[in-house]
Amino acid sequence: MKYFIEIWGCQMNEHDAEILAGMLEQLGYQKTEQEIDADLIILYTCCVREKAEHKVLARLGELKKYKHLNPNLVLAVGGCMAQQQEMGDYLRSRAPYVDLVFGTHNIHRLPQLLQEVKESDSILIEVWDKEQEIVEDLPAKRMDSVKAYVTITYGCNNFCSYCIVPYVRGRERSRHPKDILHEIEDLVEQGFKEIMLLGQNVNSYGKDLTQKIDFADLLEQIDSIEGLNRIRYMTSHPRDFSDKLINVIANSTKVCEHFHLPIQAGSSRILKQMRRGYTKEKYLELVEKIKTAVPNCTLTTDIIVGFPGETEEDFLETIDVIKKVRYDQAFTFLYSPRKGTPAASMPNQVPNDQKKQRFQHLLEVQNKISWEINQKYLNKTEEVLFEGPSKTNPNKLSGRTRGNKIVIAEADESVIGTIQPVKITDAQTWSLFGKLEQM
Ligand code: 5AD
Ligand code: SF4
């Protein structure tokens, strides 16, 4: 039996898919890269923006033909899109050839669901509307051999007014520190060099635990794990980024000097409408504190353009923040109304062409800054953790600096999984190129 999993969306989904794959391999399934060879196809979906949903529906239409070629093929839809209210019924009417729909709260049930699907002659829909206790010790088939995802919190309590995540991922739940530490120690033993701690808002780690512990304490404990080289985390909420946390990161040897601080919008008026809990000034203050404590840090962000009511003036505040902070990179999104979120029914929705214009403007400003920052790396030597063959330069290897910049260099495959000094010889907007220094 062979499985094929296609993943949309964020790192949480990638990690969920690793767990789905782990469970399937325990059942004796093998992975295939070809849909046509698969006995089970899972689309693991995202619903943060509408576009992702349209793509899933289009993809289902394409996959339908494999059901004719292989009548035993099980076609499943899981993840955030499937978790949305009434999506099961919608799929039943729009894509009745789908065999199984499951949500984000019951991925551990996949083995039983596959059994039940065999006995059911119509679409099987199992979506739990509430999150449950965290299920520990699920197997994971890691996609990478150098860096590994480790979830520290599930769900989100923030309810930013544009965001659907709290509705499909449930309330915040933190894993027990001992479970997290065991998992990381085990990963280090298996040879992993870098871990990425995952949570919708890692800064609120521990708030729901009886044990008194916060994210900074957890980082300190992970920092002392021998054999681990690098620690990253995703995502931080600027409102909750404490001085204590900055201090722990500044004094740590393993936590990388990369700060991903989603601003979402530069105008304090829009930030209030977004329910972000900080103003432009507070955010800039935080950035200054970070830059002072960690002078060589890199900074990245997420930005939404065209939130309801965003005027040209508001948008220029976003541009102003970009120019003041000088991000290494910004992930920019057109605001996408999500049914059930407060922002979707706000007045003064911004027309699409205006959103696109602003997006383009922002991209031009940001790309210039990214390029300028990268030029400063020329002729410098960076510590690069090599991850594998480069996707864009197949004869070369790709790795990352501590600041999370991609570095492409010619090197023997034996350096994969090791940290090497690389002299930067060329710098472009998205990546650096270099030569291995002689050791
Ligand atoms: N429209 C556009 N972008 C969104 N994001 C979240 N919700 C929406 C939405 N409705 C963006 C935010 C978040 C990133 C993961 O996705 O910038 O940080
Ligand atoms: Fe969505 Fe806000 Fe939670 Fe991030 S913090 S997942 S943007 S609600």
Average pLDDT for the chain: 96
User: Whose Cα sits closest to atom 7 in ligand 1?
Assistant: 163
Dist. CA 423–CA 377, nearest whole Å: 9
CA distances from 188 to 8, 146, 418 (A): 28, 10, 13
Kindly list the domain boundaries of the chain, sorted by start residue: 2-126, 144-256, 265-375, 381-436
Per the document, the length of the chain is: 439
Whether residue 438 has pLDDT greater than 90: no
Dist. CA 31–CA 39, nearest whole Å: 10
User: Whose Cα sits closest to atom 17 in ligand 1?
Assistant: 302
336 lines ligand 1 (CB under 6 A): yes
| Equal CATH topology for 265-375 and 381-436 | no
For the question of whether the overall pTM of this predicted structure is more than 0.75, the answer is yes
- Does the domain made of 381-436 have the CATH classification 3.50.50.60? no
Q: Cα angle vertex 190, ends 187, 192, to 5°?
A: 60
Closest CA to 269 of 303, 317, 335: 317
Q: Which atom of ligand 2 is nearest to the CA of 164?
A: 1
Average pLDDT for residues 136-153, to the nearest whole number?
95
pLDDT category of residue 133 using cuts at 50, 70 and 90: confident
Ligand found nearest the CA of 162? 1
Give the pLDDT confidence of 246-276 residue by residue, as tens digits: 999 999 999 999 999 999 999 999 999 999 9
Give the pLDDT confidence of 344-399 residue by residue, as tens digits: 999 999 999 999 999 999 999 999 999 999 999 999 999 999 999 999 998 999 99
Give the pLDDT confidence of 297-352 residue by residue, as tens digits: 999 999 999 999 999 999 999 999 999 999 999 999 999 999 999 999 999 999 99
24's CB contacts (< 8 A; 6+ apart) are: 3, 40, 110, 141
29 lines ligand 1 (CB under 6 A): no
In the reported structure, the alpha carbon of residue 386 is separated from the centroid of ligand 1 by a whole-number distance in angstroms of 30
Give the model's pLDDT for residue 317: 98
Q: Which atom of ligand 2 is nearest to the CA of 159?
A: 8
What residues does ligand 2 touch, defined as CB less than 6 Å away? Answer: 156, 158-160, 163, 165-166, 200-201, 237
Site to probe by mutation for ligand 1, drawn from 48, 273, 329 as the one with most ligand atoms within 8 Å of Cβ, is 48
Ligand found nearest the CA of 200? 2
In the reported structure, the alpha carbon of residue 159 is separated from the centroid of ligand 2 by a whole-number distance in angstroms of 6
Q: Which atom of ligand 2 is nearest to the CA of 163?
A: 1
In the reported structure, the alpha carbon of residue 48 is separated from the centroid of ligand 1 by a whole-number distance in angstroms of 6
49 lines ligand 1 (CB under 6 A): yes
- DSSP annotation of 438 reads P
Q: Which atom of ligand 2 is nearest to the CA of 48?
A: 1
Range 265-375: architecture per CATH: 2-Layer Sandwich (3.30)
What's domain 2-126's superfamily in CATH?
Methylthiotransferase, N-terminal domain (3.40.50.12160)
- DSSP annotation of 420 reads E
Give the pLDDT confidence of 162-201 residue by residue, as tens digits: 999 999 999 999 999 999 999 999 999 999 999 999 999 9
Dist. CA 279–CA 266, nearest whole Å: 8
35's CB contacts (< 8 A; 6+ apart) are: 4, 41, 63, 66
Give the model's pLDDT for residue 439: 61
Q: Which atom of ligand 1 is nearest to the CA of 331?
A: 17
Give the pLDDT confidence of 71-108 residue by residue, as tens digits: 999 999 999 999 998 899 999 999 999 999 999 999 99
282 exposure class (CB count in 10 Å sphere: 0-12, 13-18, 19+) = middle
Q: Are strands 381-389 and 397-400 parallel, antiparallel or unpaired?
A: antiparallel
Closest CA to 75 of 56, 55, 90, 89: 56
335 lines ligand 1 (CB under 6 A): yes
* CA dihedral angle for residue 302, residue 427, residue 382, residue 242, rounded to 10 degrees: -20
- DSSP annotation of 264 reads B
pLDDT category of residue 9 using cuts at 50, 70 and 90: very high
74 forms bridges with which residues in the sheet? 40
In the reported structure, the alpha carbon of residue 227 is separated from the centroid of ligand 2 by a whole-number distance in angstroms of 33
- DSSP annotation of 312 reads H
Give the model's pLDDT for residue 53: 86
333 lines ligand 1 (CB under 6 A): yes
Site to probe by mutation for ligand 1, drawn from 159, 300, 304 as the one with most ligand atoms within 8 Å of Cβ, is 304
Whether residue 279 has pLDDT greater than 80: yes
358 lines ligand 1 (CB under 6 A): no
Task: Return the percentage of the chain with pLDDT > 70, whole number.
Answer: 100
Closest CA to 42 of 82, 89, 83, 74: 74
In the reported structure, the alpha carbon of residue 201 is separated from the centroid of ligand 2 by a whole-number distance in angstroms of 7
Which parts of 107-257 fold into alpha helices (H)? 110-119, 165-169, 177-189, 215-223, 243-251
Lowest mean pLDDT of 93-97, 236-240, 435-439, name the range: 435-439
What CATH number is given for 144-256 in this structure? 3.30.750.210
Average pLDDT for residues 209-223, to the nearest whole number?
97
Give the model's pLDDT for residue 115: 95
Average pLDDT for residues 117-135, to the nearest whole number?
90
